[in-house]
Structure 1
Amino acid sequence: WAQNSDQSIYAVLGDYGMGKTFSCRIFAKELAGTKITPFYIDLRDTPTFVTKDNIVRQPLLEEIIDNVLGRQNIKTQAQDFIQQAQDGTLIFIFDGLDEKLVHYNQDMRQQFLSELMRVFPVDTFRSQSKVKMVLSCRTHHFEDLKAQSSFLRGLGRTDSASEDYRAVEILPFNALQIESLLEKQLGNKSRVVFELINDNRYLANLAKRPFLLTRIAQVLPALQTLRVINSAAVYQALIDDAIDRDEGKHILRPRHKRILLQDLSAELWQQSEQILMVDELNEWYQSWLHSNTSILQQYDKVSNSELERDLRNSTLLVRFGEEDFGFTHSSMQEFFLAQWILKNWRQLLGDFKLNKAISPLTRQFILDGILLLKPKEIKQLKQALKDSLQQKNTTELTHLALDIVSTMSKEMGITLDFECVDLSYLKVKQLFVTGLKTKELILSHSDLPASRWKNVEIAIVKINDSNLNQSVWRDCVLQDLHTDFNFKIDDALHSGMHQWTVDNCQFEF
């Protein structure tokens, strides 16, 4: 493709831990021995937003390139590399597109991709230029193949053709590949480990990811003692193993290091970043220590420089370039963020706010994580859910709360009994709710088309200017309905209750 194909874009797709970054870096290494120069850019190392003249905006293509050059002390201008790409002697490799897109809304995502497309000359159709680029992205970023195709074609640009890009999806390891890698890593012990992994459905699924396979083998004895094995349990075991191996080598105690990494992940998420420069990291760390005085007092004889060096040497943090630090893998950051959200929600109850979107993986870590909570923590979370759902909240928080309620019902057999659940202004396509029990459900200006409701008990449903068209209700009890809609056949399309599917339900209104 690099030397002989007319296609200008090569998309490397796959779920987390499948080897997208590894593939991009190997490709760059292979290109380095040819007449084509690779320019590898890990997008998680680049700024998500920049501030110029007191205006916060997305970075320009030149600013992204200059950021990479600056960290490598290269004085060449960004435009020189863009010109090389247009001459066909350089290929840009943009790794981790989803690491940026998750922080943007739909319009901003389109703008960011358009900014990357500025590598192409403005006076030439993309398919007719010499420019080539590689883009890697998590598959789940796209809703379906049509959305994926549209996005990669430049979001419907008229000069784009479906043949102008090539896409490859890195598939999960099959059983033979898993066994082969374990044999290379473990030798004679590989067969026993393979059988233990294969006997657990969840482990067998996670082991299909190269990033996790060898690590699962390392912590398998710890996993075998757990009552639940899921993504959160596996990552917790991986992190415990890494921190335990560090014990005695570092200053911070393991329990403090876990709190620190949770708070650091939240800081990065709130800043829409994946890395911090060393000075920013040290400043944040000092602020964190002084805001946690009970922790700071336990290290009163340790100098600031020693504490900062200890943080930078953490097993779960890694240096990118000369002075940028971040988590060893983006999934590690998302796991710690999930822990931070659950912990703070339990502590702040109804005062907890979630004003930013979280990734699908962070959501999965949260839902898996509640199965690992202790009885006291589950009790706290129940109260937090009741306090949050009885008031109008952000779509992000309300949607997550409903997902937790459904998970508790399906996986733990816990049904929460609410006085009121307020879903006003909630906007979610294909929402799924199961096991909800409430005296009052408020749906005001809510947009929930094709929502699915199962094993739901509601005394009073209040629907006002809301869209629940094409909803599916199964095994539900609804006792009373209050609506601003007057039931007339001609107006049925405007009721928000058009084309409901009802199966084995008891509607008493």
Structure 2
Amino acid sequence: MTEIVTSALSLLVKAAASPAKDAAFRKSWVIATLKRLNLDPKQPPKDFYSLYAYTLVEALHDQPSPVLQVFRDEHVQQSFYRSFSDKNWTRLKREIGESVERNRETGEYGNLPYGMSEVAQDFISKFQDLVSRSRSAYETRLENKLDDMSEMLDQVLKTRSAEEKHRQSENPQWAEASAAQRLTGDVREWFHAVGYTVRREWKVEEVSSVALLVEVPQRRPGKFDLVVALCVEGEVAPYHLESLKGLVEEVGAAEGWGIAHLRVSSAARELASRSNDSLFCYSFDELIDLEADFEPYIQWLEREVQNQHIDTRFVPLACRKEEIDPRTEKSFGTSMYDWREGGLDNYVDAWLADPAKKHLSLLGEFGMGKSWFALHLAGRLAVGWRDAKSRGVARPRIPLVISLRDYAKQTSVSALLSEFFFHKHRINVRNYEVFSVLNRMGRFLLIFDGFDEMASRTDRNTMVANFWELAKIVEPGAKVLLSSRTEYFPEAKEARDLFGARVAAATHAIPSDGPTFEIVELVPFDDDQIRKMLSHLLTPEKLEVVMGHESVRDLMRRPVMSELVIDALPEIEQGAVINLARIYLYAIKRKMDRDVSNERTFTSRADKLFFLCEVAWEMIHTNQLSLNYRDFPDRLRACFGSVVENSKDLDYWEQDMRNQSMLVRNSSGDYGPSHKSLLEFLVAFRFAAELGLLEGDFLHLISGPDESNGERLSWSEYFASRGEGGRLAHLLGFDPEGVEKLASNFGMAEYNPVIFDFLATMIKECDSYQDVLIAHIKSTASALEPFNLGGNCANLLAQAGGSLAGISLHEARLSGFGDTGEAFFDISLEATNLSKADLSEADISHLNKRNANFTGALLRGGSFLDSPISADHVLLDSHGAITVLRSRLPNTHPWVQPMDSAALHWPHGDLHEEPVVVPLTPDPKESWAGGCGIFEWDDGEWGCTDRSGTVIRSSATGEITQSFQVAASFAVTWGDSRALMAVDRSSSGYTWKVVDAATGHLLAVCDEAIAPIAHARVWGYRPSVNGVLLRVSSEEETALFEMTSANSEWVEQARFPVGTAHSIGGFTSIRTMVKEDTVYIEGPRSEILTYPKSEFGDTLDDLAVARCSAFTPDAQRLVMSNDRSVWMLERDAGSWRKAWSRSVSSDVSAFPAMSADGSKAVFAFRTGELSTWSLADGNRMSARSFNPLLRGAQFSRESDLEESDYESIKLSGGLIGG
């Protein structure tokens, strides 16, 4: 029974002793009693126990004491909880009926009145009425499940049992041990961690237990107590303690401890309490409590949940999960988890209950509620942990909420955790090893919040290194939830690769035992969630004002915006322009003006903003998102100089800036933003001012609306030049800073989509923003070190919708231009003069460069030659006909029209001729080429597929010869006929199947077999001579299985002692593996060929640097490529030699196709080039380009390009000068 329920019943019992006759007095007594219980008489509470206590007071205030004793009964209360949870009141009514019958015999409640069933029904009705007044039915049912600890703890017990079974399945020796022996293993490990010494271990057969003789250190150094620890199966019972007493006497120990995995009987506890402190009994959790006190942390967590109003204002979140085929990396749709049906809460609960599940990564854009949910989840588990501890039952994992923004202050994750345990929360554990042991034992849920905040610069190497740093503490038994901004990853696949532990830090191999994370992504709020969130904060009238503005509702899709929108409500009501940046503008202005009007501050709004902007830039730039109170004086001196020279003035300014500057303080005295996006707004504000582009309402935040007689100064000049008394001058507007100062600030900023979004909104208040930004770009030509100033200005201009077409940027330095991750923005470079410009660290591949002037420009290192249109698949039939699948890049570029896919066919194999074009209709749900594809059929025919089905075409004419109502991936031979390998998406999942080409009948289903290799990481289907070939690789093993018309199961064809851990080369390196003295390479028919390592000699290095490889049909030639070369190895007299090598300008975009006689190959490159090559000498025979972006562009030989780059430029329609 909780404290509030006990208190309510005590007050009711006292009142029942002298009942009030006057109805008005009874009403006032109810109100007063609710207030004594800290309950609001006007608003029912939201947590379950408080709501139950509220109902007791309202429904039973006029009932006699015997009735109250019935509702005090724990069995009645438990029945109530379960009845409400199940929405079935039969259980409660039955329990009350049985209580009444029992009372007739025992009189335990006293003299019960007639009509207890009516009293119960009235109580139920009152409770349900309060529920409807308190919140929605779903919210209450959800919180009821969480507050109903018996249900939650039942699940904990099931989870513990499932985790133990999983542990046994992973460790056969552990499974063979008895329960007492397994407990002893855990106890020994725990004793070692806390510094206890085990001197002896022996079996105690008569009680099926294991005894340990243990030295337990005393507080005095060098002193210890001798303890016998008896590890028992099942529950500690009195007979165990009798046996333990004899063992203690036998060895002369000071104490005896009876230890069970989960349960201790009440009789055993009673017996121990009478042993004069010589016998004790513990569950394993209670044994841990002796040396690890988590109560202070749990209390902090509960306070944090309350301080942030998560306990009363949390709104359930929805999420989605993209379903990816691990074999092909194709997406087969998205699973949605609606908040009305439990959403993210239910998903995480199921994940926590599944011992075999991966770890979990929660992605979402800024302000979507990641940190909100982390604390909400931790708060739920903390309540469950405390309740389980008080009941003496199995406890849920302790949720450790660890902010990764603090990582920048530490040298390692272990140092971060040490800070978390020993300093931040002062958790009483002996050492770091205690954490490691408890982590391995599954006692923690590690909630790492803010993976994107671990480093100040988000280059790929740092991101990967940070992941593997976190991986060091993700041990077997651990559960980890890791949150991050979605925009931290350039593309979804990069997130999947990283969280799937498939990428390694620079100079390191991929560890074989890295942790893997499944990924779920938060979904923006819908209108009902917005209404629910605001209902906690606004009156019904003001709520309707907000909901009536579509633009405001769109901003509120991010929960973080709620309080900012409320601060900006007056402007919204007046019809002001609304966007994300302006909401921050209005909210900051109102907060600061309110402080002034309340006489809570003496510094000006301008000075506050200046200080906040300077601090925000330092925090973002260094990724240390807090400022300790001890550091305020130095920051103030740096910002305000002589104004704060006097120590008394410094004290005033320090107090004012700390207390009235929108920064919030934690218990350690660190000041930081309530949300990172506030810093990002302030940094954007500062950059706009430094660029000379702060105008309109944004400028008035500094200057005020009536500064027509003011001066124009730069940002730094304005705050440095003060008049008498430190007063700031009247400000007309900001002039730009000089190029060197801009370079050291805006030029040092890494692209951040949130900052640039704010910044683009701000600068568009200035009519001349395009001219100003272009002038800044031009100024980089004379700068000593512009860093990314030119590139950032160009990116900002693109994001604001500007253009560089026809502009002269002669000698401009554009490092960082286009380096915007997943956020692509179009800006035309058509006819732009970029002569002698530095584009070596720019990515302008996706931009229109037609007729631009690149003479003398530095271009090498950038990817300007890559094309948005290229060939994804290449076929070459026995008669020389060439077929390719041409498609655009996935539609991440907003200016590119829906994917332009087509099959192009050259019947005679001459790429100089115009092809037969077969338009294909992509499926927008498919991530890989829109679900379009081509494949080989019979000799003289080929197939193509799209969302409408599959057709077979003549190689001679391109005409349709057959059509099928199924989307096929490739063709197979099935007995005496041809069949199609297709994907069935008729159910919620997907299934690979073999379909008869003539009848459309299902011939076989390929996905129903159990994985034929344990811990498989790579799957792949290929056509075989007689059916379908399945290749499966784990880290240490690879096997080939075949399914044919003669059987319906996978039949093993071959097995090899190599896997992903032995692969060499690039992204297709699973085709080439090396172990000891043998090389394993995928052959021309998907078989695996083996060669002695010695056969390759020096050419083994060529295998290692290859990113793509393909055999000729006779397996005597091996054509390979990477991003700069194509070469061929040839086998001669039992050894391999390099026959030729040619430079190229990019990676291939598809695997090369080989002619049947092995004399010719067709290559497709990311530059858009498609070409045929003679394998005899490595010369191109014919070529064409799909790249539409370089036509008419001018280049010169004095640039830093290689000959292969010039060939690609000419092929794309560019012009090469002298």
Percent identity over the alignment?
Answer: 18
Secondary structure at 1:41's aligned position in 2?
strand
Deviations 1:148-194, CA, capped at 9 Å, x for gaps: 111112344554589x5333211101123223333443313322321
Deviation for aligned residue 1:232: 2.1
CA contact under 8 A between 1:470 and 1:498: conserved in structure 2? no
Amino acid at match of 1:211: V
Distance 1:284 1:485 in 2: 47
Which residue is 1:279 aligned to?
Answer: 630
Which residue is 1:190 aligned to?
Answer: 543
Amino acid at match of 2:356: D
Equivalent residue for 2:414, pick from 62, 65, 75:
62
Deviation for aligned residue 1:28: 1.0
Amino acid at match of 2:523: L
Which residue is 2:499 aligned to?
Answer: 152
Q: Specify whether residues 275 and 449 from structure 1 end up closer, same or farther in structure 2 by C-alpha distance, changes over 3 A only.
A: closer
Equivalent residue for 1:230, pick from 579, 597, 606:
579
Secondary structure at 2:408's aligned position in 1?
coil
Amino acid at match of 1:190: L
Secondary structure at 1:251's aligned position in 2?
coil
Distance 1:374 1:226 in 2: 23
Counterparts of residues 346-357 of structure 1 (less than 5 Å): 346=692, 347-351=736-740, 352-353=742-743, 354-357=747-750
Q: Specify whether residues 228 and 416 from structure 1 end up closer, same or farther in structure 2 by C-alpha distance, changes over 3 A only.
A: farther
Q: Specify whether residues 312 and 448 from structure 1 end up closer, same or farther in structure 2 by C-alpha distance, changes over 3 A only.
A: closer
Distance 2:841 2:612 in 1: 37
Equivalent residue for 1:361, pick from 754, 759, 763:
754
Counterparts of residues 87-486 of structure 1 (less than 5 Å): 87-121=441-475, 129-156=476-503, 157=510, 159=512, 164-186=516-538, 187-196=540-549, 198=550, 200=551, 203-223=552-572, 229-247=578-596, 248-290=599-641, 293=642, 296=644, 303-346=649-692, 347-351=736-740, 352-353=742-743, 354-373=747-766, 383-388=775-780, 396-407=788-799, 410=802, 417-418=807-808, 420-423=810-813, 428=818, 432-434=826-828, 438-444=832-838, 446=840, 448=842, 451-454=845-848, 458=852, 461-464=855-858, 466=860, 467-471=863-867, 481-484=1195-1198
CA contact under 8 A between 1:276 and 1:324: conserved in structure 2? yes
Deviation for aligned residue 1:486: 12
CA contact under 8 A between 1:457 and 1:478: conserved in structure 2? yes
CA contact under 8 A between 1:470 and 1:499: conserved in structure 2? no
| 420-429 or 307-316, larger mean C-alpha shift | 420-429
Amino acid at match of 1:387: S
Q: Specify whether residues 427 and 209 from structure 1 end up closer, same or farther in structure 2 by C-alpha distance, changes over 3 A only.
A: closer
Secondary structure at 1:363's aligned position in 2?
helix
Distance 1:425 1:334 in 2: 22
Deviations 1:299-323, CA, capped at 9 Å, x for gaps: x795432321222212510112321
| 84-93 or 493-502, larger mean C-alpha shift | 493-502
Secondary structure at 1:453's aligned position in 2?
coil
1:37 correspondence with 2:398: yes
Distance 2:428 2:1200 in 1: 70
Which residue is 1:22 aligned to?
Answer: 372
Structure 1 vs Structure 2 CA RMSD: 3.8
Distance 1:499 1:336 in 2: 48
Amino acid at match of 2:810: C
Which residue is 2:992 aligned to?
Answer: none
Amino acid at match of 1:134: L
| Count of paired positions | 474
Distance 2:1200 2:542 in 1: 71
CA contact under 8 A between 2:846 and 2:866: conserved in structure 1? no
Distance 2:832 2:784 in 1: 15
The structure showing larger relative contact order (alpha-carbon pairs under 8 Å, at least 6 residues apart) is 1
Secondary structure at 2:602's aligned position in 1?
coil
| 266-275 or 423-432, larger mean C-alpha shift | 423-432
Deviations 1:375-410, CA, capped at 9 Å, x for gaps: 6x8876554343136658666333211123334554
1:82 correspondence with 2:436: yes
CA contact under 8 A between 1:394 and 1:426: conserved in structure 2? no
Distance 1:326 1:182 in 2: 25
1:11 correspondence with 2:361: yes
CA contact under 8 A between 2:817 and 2:844: conserved in structure 1? no
Amino acid at match of 1:422: A
Distance 1:426 1:340 in 2: 20
Distance 2:579 2:1213 in 1: 33
Distance 2:738 2:795 in 1: 17
Equivalent residue for 2:408, pick from 30, 38, 48:
48
Deviation for aligned residue 1:325: 1.2
Deviation for aligned residue 1:445: 6.3
Distance 1:374 1:257 in 2: 28
Distance 1:214 1:71 in 2: 28
Q: Specify whether residues 143 and 406 from structure 1 end up closer, same or farther in structure 2 by C-alpha distance, changes over 3 A only.
A: closer
Distance 1:483 1:436 in 2: 21
Amino acid at match of 1:194: M
Distance 2:669 2:800 in 1: 43
CA contact under 8 A between 1:437 and 1:457: conserved in structure 2? yes
Secondary structure at 2:750's aligned position in 1?
coil
Which residue is 2:10 aligned to?
Answer: none
Amino acid at match of 1:362: I
Deviation for aligned residue 1:14: 0.7
Distance 2:867 2:791 in 1: 16
CA contact under 8 A between 1:265 and 1:334: conserved in structure 2? yes
Deviation for aligned residue 1:420: 2.2
Distance 2:486 2:854 in 1: 41
Distance 2:579 2:555 in 1: 9
Amino acid at match of 2:609: R
Amino acid at match of 2:497: S
Consecutive unaligned residues in structure 1, runs of 5 or more? 51-58, 122-128
Amino acid at match of 2:415: E
| 416-425 or 131-140, larger mean C-alpha shift | 416-425
CA contact under 8 A between 1:38 and 1:92: conserved in structure 2? yes
Distance 1:228 1:475 in 2: 38
Secondary structure at 1:168's aligned position in 2?
strand
Distance 1:383 1:464 in 2: 21
Secondary structure at 1:16's aligned position in 2?
coil
CA contact under 8 A between 2:446 and 2:480: conserved in structure 1? yes
Q: Specify whether residues 227 and 401 from structure 1 end up closer, same or farther in structure 2 by C-alpha distance, changes over 3 A only.
A: farther
Distance 2:424 2:519 in 1: 30
Q: Specify whether residues 406 and 89 from structure 1 end up closer, same or farther in structure 2 by C-alpha distance, changes over 3 A only.
A: closer
Q: Specify whether residues 172 and 421 from structure 1 end up closer, same or farther in structure 2 by C-alpha distance, changes over 3 A only.
A: farther
Secondary structure at 2:399's aligned position in 1?
strand
Distance 1:143 1:306 in 2: 46
Secondary structure at 1:12's aligned position in 2?
strand
| 87-96 or 349-358, larger mean C-alpha shift | 349-358
Deviation for aligned residue 1:414: 9.7
Distance 1:67 1:487 in 2: 51
Deviation for aligned residue 1:233: 2.1
Distance 1:450 1:287 in 2: 39
Which residue is 1:497 aligned to?
Answer: 1209
